[in-house]
Structures are given as structure tokens and as C-alpha cells.
């Protein structure tokens, strides 16, 4: 084995080969060390993990791992008015996610509410907050072409429905 002097790489290598982790960029290593793969997996499998009904009214916002590789906390954004349903389902969601991964990843779920309306287009959710809606309305006033202005207002109304 040869010893390298480069601190960014692993200490030992065989015949010029590196481990996969050593070949990744520093930013990616930080995400993997912070268990970022867990959040991305939860995000991509959210419909499967919680079911269609709960996925329509909520989505995972962030995952905060504990400092000592213990179970972490998942923060879920929930549409205002549906907090009680998610609150009663916290333990079920935790069990489903822990069973999916095969070990205890979560021990707590925190709920954050949002005041937006959600429109699904081609199975993709669109979230527009009231603040963004006001900004869009103000920028529509500045458009000089009346036809474009009217069609954009109709589009905004269609998304709201």
C-alpha cells in the first residue's frame, strides 16, 4: 500500500484505485454524511409511504438527523385545515417509514402548515402562496397587451380552481 499526502482523499489506496466515496465531490460527501439520501428517498416515495389521501394534503419539507446517528425528525408541510388528520397519523407514518428503511430513522414528526392552494397537473403538484399570487397579480397589471393579460388572468384563475 502507498501513503498519499493529499488530505482530501483517503489515506491508503491500492495500485491507484480509490474508494467510491473518495471520488465524490466534497459537497456530495457532506449531503451523504448528513443522511441526505434518506430525505430524497422519503420525498420520492411519499405517495407510497403515506397513501394518496395524505399525500394530497401534505409533503415532506425537511429531514433533520440527530447528531449521534440516532433517529431524526421529519418536518411535514400540511395544508391548513388538515393538521388534525396528520397529527393523529404521526405514529403510523413513523412506523411505515421505519419499516420501509428497515431500521429506526424517525422518532418524531413536526407539522408546519401552509396557506396555499395546490393544483395537480400531470401528477405534479403546483404550490402558489398568497404572497406569490399577489406578486403575480401586480406584475399582470404592468402588461400592456390586453389579450395576453386576459389569458394570463384566466390561467391564474384556472390554477386556483
Domain positions in the chain are 24-114, 118-161
Lowest mean pLDDT among 25-29, 77-81, 121-125: 121-125
**In the predicted model, is pLDDT for residue 2 greater than 90?**
no
CATH fit for domain 24-114, picks 3.10.450, 3.30.70, 3.30.300, 3.30.30: 3.30.300
- The pLDDT tens digits of the residues spanning 86-134 come to 899 899 999 999 898 888 889 999 999 887 554 444 455 566 677 777 7
Tell me which DSSP letter residue 11 carries. S
User: pTM surpassing 0.75?
Assistant: no
In a 3-state reduction of DSSP, which class is residue 70? coil
Strand order in the sheet with 58-64: 58-64, 72-79, 106-114
* Confidence (pLDDT) at 119: 47
Predicted local confidence at residue 9, as pLDDT: 53
Beta bridge partners of 72: 106
Amino acid at each position: 500500500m502507498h501513503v498519499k499526502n493529499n488530505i482530501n482523499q483517503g489515506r491508503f489506496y491500492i495500485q491507484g484505485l480509490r474508494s467510491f466515496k473518495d471520488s465524490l465531490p466534497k459537497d456530495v460527501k457532506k449531503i451523504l454524511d448528513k443522511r441526505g439520501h434518506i430525505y430524497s428517498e422519503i420525498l420520492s416515495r411519499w405517495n407510497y409511504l403515506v397513501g394518496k389521501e395524505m399525500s394530497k394534503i401534505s409533503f415532506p419539507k425537511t429531514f433533520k438527523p440527530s447528531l449521534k446517528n440516532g433517529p431524526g425528525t421529519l418536518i411535514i408541510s400540511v395544508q391548513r385545515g388538515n393538521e388534525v388528520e396528520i397529527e393523529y397519523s404521526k405514529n403510523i407514518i413513523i412506523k411505515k417509514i421505519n419499516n420501509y428503511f428497515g431500521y429506526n430513522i424517525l422518532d418524531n414528526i413536526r407539522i408546519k402548515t401552509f396557506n396555499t392552494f395546490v393544483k395537480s397537473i400531470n401528477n405534479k403538484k403546483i404550490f402558489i402562496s398568497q404572497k406569490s399570487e399577489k406578486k403575480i397579480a401586480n406584475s399582470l397589471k404592468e402588461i400592456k397587451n390586453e389579450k395576453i393579460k386576459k389569458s394570463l388572468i384566466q390561467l391564474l384563475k384556472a390554477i386556483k380552481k
